[in-house]
């Protein structure tokens, strides 16, 4: 059975849990703390040399890391990835946007506020920058969703899964979603997709 190295609080882990649950693929979840250093221990670095969750280990021992690469792997050939080449390119565009222009601000501020006992002086000094850049990402998404139901091709896909993961808990990082009506409607729409599970729900067989 597939093994998922995961953390129940992690949006990056949640993306994979949510897709595997939609697809009905059974998996064994191994929870790793993201604060006590256990993802940097030699045992785990053999799974993912980059020392991060999520990572999956297949029955034959092969491993795959990077949440969005894992989404692409399992979504291929399913309803959750468009077949049209340009629509797939747009999904990829959103996946890279998420990791470069969204997660480093929205997920990082949430991590700082939810997981750390206190911030360093440098972190304190960066809060306003992260809020500004995170809001820029949310505004871009809100504008994009003005006349759309889902991010790409008017169908729920792994682009929605990847962006939903940290957007719906952006409040934990201090982001007020009140100004983003289109975004809030989209969050509600994602929550209504059949088979949806919340971020902290332990799944698998």
Binding site for a copy of itself (CB under 8 A): 49-50, 62, 64-70, 72-73, 76, 85-86, 89-90, 92-93, 95-97, 99-101, 103-104, 121-122, 125-126, 129, 140, 143-144
Q: How far is CA 166 from the centre of its chain?
A: 6
Minimum distance, C-beta of residue 144 to a copy of itself, in the bound complex (Å): 7
Minimum distance, C-beta of residue 202 to a copy of itself, in the bound complex (Å): 25
Closest CA to 164 of 189, 144, 181: 189
Of 76 and 202, nearer to a copy of itself (C-beta) is: 76
Of 72 and 199, nearer to a copy of itself (C-beta) is: 72
Minimum distance, C-beta of residue 163 to a copy of itself, in the bound complex (Å): 13
Of 100 and 115, nearer to a copy of itself (C-beta) is: 100
Q: Report the C-alpha gap between 12 and 74 in whole angstroms.
A: 15
Q: Rg of the chain over CA atoms, in angstroms?
A: 17
204 to 2, 73, 145, 154: CA distances (angstroms): 10, 19, 32, 29
């Amino acid at each position: 059975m597939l093994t998922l190295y995961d953390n129940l609080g992690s949006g990056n882990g949640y993306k994979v849990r949510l897709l595997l649950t939609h697809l009905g693929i059974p998996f064994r979840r191994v929870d790793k703390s993201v604060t006590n250093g256990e993802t940097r221990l030699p045992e785990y670095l053999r799974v993912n040399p980059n020392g991060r969750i999520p990572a999956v280990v297949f029955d034959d021992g092969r491993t795959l890391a990077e949440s969005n690469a894992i989404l692409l792997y399992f979504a291929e050939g399913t309803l959750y990835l468009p077949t049209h080449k340009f629509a797939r390119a747009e999904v990829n565009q959103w996946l890279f946007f998420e990791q470069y222009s969204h997660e480093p601000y929205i997920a990082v501020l949430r991590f700082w506020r939810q997981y750390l006992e206190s911030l360093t002086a440098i972190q304190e000094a960066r809060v306003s920058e992260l809020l500004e850049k995170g809001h820029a990402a949310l505004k871009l998404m809100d504008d994009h969703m003005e006349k759309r139901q889902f991010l790409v091709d008017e169908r729920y896909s792994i682009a929605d899964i990847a962006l939903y993961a940290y957007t719906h808990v952006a409040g934990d990082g201090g982001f007020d979603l009140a100004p983003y009506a289109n975004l809030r409607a989209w969050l509600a729409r994602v929550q209504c997709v059949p088979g949806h599970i919340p971020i902290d729900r332990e799944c698998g067989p």
